[in-house]
Amino acid sequence: MLRLFGLLAFAGSVLSQAALPYTDPENGINFWGFTDVVHNVTWGYVFPPLATSGPNPNEYIGEVVVPVVNQWIGFALSGSMIDSLLVAAWPNNGKIVVSTRYATSNVLPDVYPGPTITTLPSTTINSTHWKWVFRCQNCTSWLGGSIDVTSPSNIPAWCVSTIPVDDPADPGTSMVQHTDYGFYFFDFSSAHVTAAQYNNWAAGGTGPGSGGPTTTTTKTTTTSTAPPTATASPYDYIIVGGGPGGIITADRISQAGKSVLLLERGGPSTWETGGRYQPPWAQGKANLTKFDVPGLFESMFTDPDSFWWCTDINVFAGCLLGGGGAVNGALYWLPSDQDFSTNNGWPQEWTNHQPYTAMLKARLPPTDAPSTDGKRYLEQTSTVVSQLLAPQGYQNVTINDNPDSKDRIMGYAAYDFIGGQRGGPVATYLQTALGRKNFKLQLYTNVLNVVRNGSQITGVTTNDTSVAGGFYPLNPNGRVILSGGTYGSARVLFRSGIGPTDMLNLVKNDPVAGPNMPPSSQWINLPVGYNVSDNPSINLVFTHPSINDYDNWADVFTDPPAADVSQYLANRSGILAQASPRLNFWSALGASDGETIWMQGTARPGAASWNTSYAFNQTQMFTITAYLSYGVKSRGRIGINAALVGTPLVNPWFVNPLDKSTLITGLQNIVSTMGQVPGLEMITPDNKTTIPAYVNAYDPATMDSNHWVGSNIIGTTAGQAVVDVNTKVFGTNNLFVVDASIIPALPYGNPHGQVMSMAEQAAAKILALAGGP
């Protein structure tokens, strides 16, 4: 329950969902609240007057108005699941069942007995909605935390679930994770009324009383909502998704003088964007978040309060400003000529990538020595792996000096870090865009679908309740660019009536999304979700006496070595200035059909898991992850399920048996010279398991490299591709896609660099295309 409510700070100028004053016409209570337009759930709260002396009252009155499709709702006024008071409620046999919970980690929260919650008489339940009005006493403070009822800057969290709790009669029942969640801005300091008003309502009375905030009365037969305050201003370009593709495209198009609105569904990431999720050792000492510090990469996957992962996608995907570029290891390989070749599926018009890659490199030069003192740290793994590969003919090089050389080469891992901190488009392209008056960034704004009249897109529908219908319009001849990633952009297309019929019917049957779809006569049948690639990856785990596995990164977020903390805080140098990968290598492998498939290797200290019969020293572990990359033959399919959650439908790994046999050959090559490295021992697989047996038994769920590409593949023919050579969606006049989903096949290395180069070229092509604003 309430799994990903991470404690978030925000930039007020870009947070559009805000609580507004309203009066429930059925009970006369003056609430401050908002309505989520996706689920049509209204959340409202009002507080007693502030104390003139001593502590403030520890209570409030709240209400939620919920369509019956939602089986239960939950909220945390602090905006965090961890160490916060959580409240959940659901109807059962004509009554509201209430459960207060508390959790110290990312598990099903325990029942928390502190609050006293009284359901008030204006609570109603009917065939379409249930409205719960309640008094919550002892609810603004709890074990280890509180909310500041005097603060003008708060971000409460909410969640809903379409899956019933296990035992609806039991407030302590088990329940599965919510199916959606969100945040909004709330000025607690304004949401107070007089003692006379509050005491009347708290005792079950109705009517406005006297005094209190200025309110707006809304007449409605089903819900009590804060009315929209305005019609949104139109833009030349609306860009959906603040990841690498969206940020670079937004910067280049705004640079050309066009008005640009960049909508990001998540919140801030790095400190300069308004993020405040700090490692404990940086609090009060440096303006650093988890996302700023390169060495905290491994903790992205182990932190119990991991609010940065999308909860409506069944693979790892970043839902915050920067997207995957804010939470990845930032490995950064300048694309090769082959990466953009017709052999790799690109149209001829895209093969001249060099000018755009040069533009990218000028804005964001890669580095394989990210520590500000120019030194490399924790490099024992690089040394050992180099000793393993050198007898096989590998040459040690600076990898980005010659991007076209990818056979039997190895070198230090390269990143897009800047000054010992995470760099990427957030630190570069976004900052220049933010300096322009014709550019606007808006966070916490989830685009649900594009609004179209046949082939013409008129704008986008969002969850933003501050504008009428959540609708953001385009200027005449304006354009929408989807940059939500391989899963996110595909889902927006499905919800907009674009894609295979089976996916569109799932949307049509959804009670919330279905009514927003165009009529079936306007559906556009394109292979959205097909042709998907991801690197199949296999981990080999070793030990060597020289290795320092850095405690397997276990306490790097909460309590890394004091000397490393001091060094990093002093000048952004040392171990914490680099993500965990230490060395990368490539080799060309001959497949049995006579073609070539490339293998990339990444070596890092530590291990995610291991399975061995050996006794071994855990502090000496390191991992080599071997990926198949350029030339991989398998393809899969992604889509949505009945809950509209993005999910793999056909896994893209080892669909073609040549991929498996080729990777087995590559793994056997890697370990073939182990005997020439004294002290080197492989513990997974150990000597009781052959490489083929190990690969055959490998859990497909752990083969995901999170390098998904191809769901909206680029091409020249509608039906075989989703977007044309200008990245325009076939069958539309003004809808484009610029993200990893248009990449037709995997590049040699991690696709981060290729996505950014692609965005540079895509922006130029879109601007040059006739008919635009």
User: What's the DSSP call for residue 132?
Assistant: E
At 4, the amino acid letter reads L
| Exposure on the CB side of residue 443, measured as CA atoms within 13 A | 25
The full DSSP string for 653-694 is SSSSHHHHHHHHHHHHHHHTTGGGSTT-EEEES-TTS-HHHH
Task: Using CA atoms of 397, 403, 407, 411 in order, give the dihedral in degrees to the nearest 10.
Answer: 30
* Selection from 146, 187, 319 nearest residue 243 by Cα: 319
If one counts every other C-beta atom within 10 angstroms of the C-beta of residue 20, the result is 21
Cα dihedral across residues 744, 747, 752, 755: positive or negative: negative
**Lookup: tokens for 759:** 């965005």
Helix/strand/coil percent split, the chain, to 5: 25, 25, 50
Helices (H) and strands (E) in the chain, counts: 12, 31
The full DSSP string for 714-746 is B-SSBTTBSB-TTSBBTT-SSEEE-SGGG--S-
Q: Which region, left, alpha or beta, applies to residue 203 given φ > 0 means left and ψ of -120 to 50 means alpha?
A: alpha
Strand pairing partners for 134?
62, 119
Active site amino acids: 707
Cβ contact 84:142 at 8 Å: yes
* Selection from 182, 183, 205, 181 nearest residue 193 by Cα: 205
Strand pairing partners for 441?
262
Phi, psi of 467 (to 5 degrees): -125, 155
Please give the Cα distance from 732 to 505 (Å, whole number): 20
Cα angle, residue 601 at apex, residues 595 and 602 outer, rounded to 5°:
160
Cα angle, residue 748 at apex, residues 743 and 752 outer, rounded to 5°:
55
Phi, psi of 732 (to 5 degrees): -120, 160
Task: Using CA atoms of 105, 110, 112, 113 in order, give the dihedral in degrees to the nearest 10.
Answer: -150
Strand 735-737 relative to strand 471-482, pairing: parallel
Please give the Cα distance from 294 to 317 (Å, whole number): 18
Cβ contact 317:265 at 8 Å: no
